[in-house]
């Protein structure tokens, strides 16, 4: 069985609304479950992180699966035209 397109839209809307409501809450007041929903990680991951980090540190750390490319690496891959758009040039 598969969800219908209408059901998929309802689920997406519910998730988006819940996420919007959570993003208005101060990090210190978020529960572990709420942080895991926002970060798209398991509850156990949040609990492990809380052993060494504050809520603020957890919520501001890089997201899982998102590559953190350094500025140096990003600039090295840019074309001369892309650099020029930023007012930069190769030395």
Question: Could you report the per-residue pLDDT of 10-54, keeping only the tens digit for each?
Answer: 999 999 999 999 999 999 999 999 999 999 889 999 999 999 999
Of 81, 45, 43, 85, the C-alpha closest to 64 is 45
Parse the chain into domains and list their residue ranges: 5-85
How many whole angstroms separate alpha carbon 48 and alpha carbon 84? 44
Q: What is the pTM of this model?
A: 0.65
* DSSP secondary structure letter of residue 12: H
> Sign of torsion, CA 23 34 37 5?
negative
pLDDT in tens, 42-89: 999 999 999 999 999 999 887 766 666 667 777 788 888 888 887 877
pLDDT the model gives residue 83: 83
Q: Are 30 and 55 in contact (CB under 8 A)?
A: yes
């Amino acid at each position: 069985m598969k969800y219908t397109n209408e059901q998929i839209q309802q689920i997406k809307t519910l998730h988006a609304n819940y996420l919007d409501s959570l993003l208005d809450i101060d990090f210190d007041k978020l529960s572990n479950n709420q942080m895991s929903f926002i970060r798209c990680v398991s509850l156990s991951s949040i609990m492990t992180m809380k052993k060494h980090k504050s809520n603020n540190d957890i919520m501001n750390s890089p997201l899982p699966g998102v590559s953190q490319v350094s500025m140096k690496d990003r600039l090295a891959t840019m074309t001369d035209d892309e650099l020029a758009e930023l007012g930069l040039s190769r030395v």
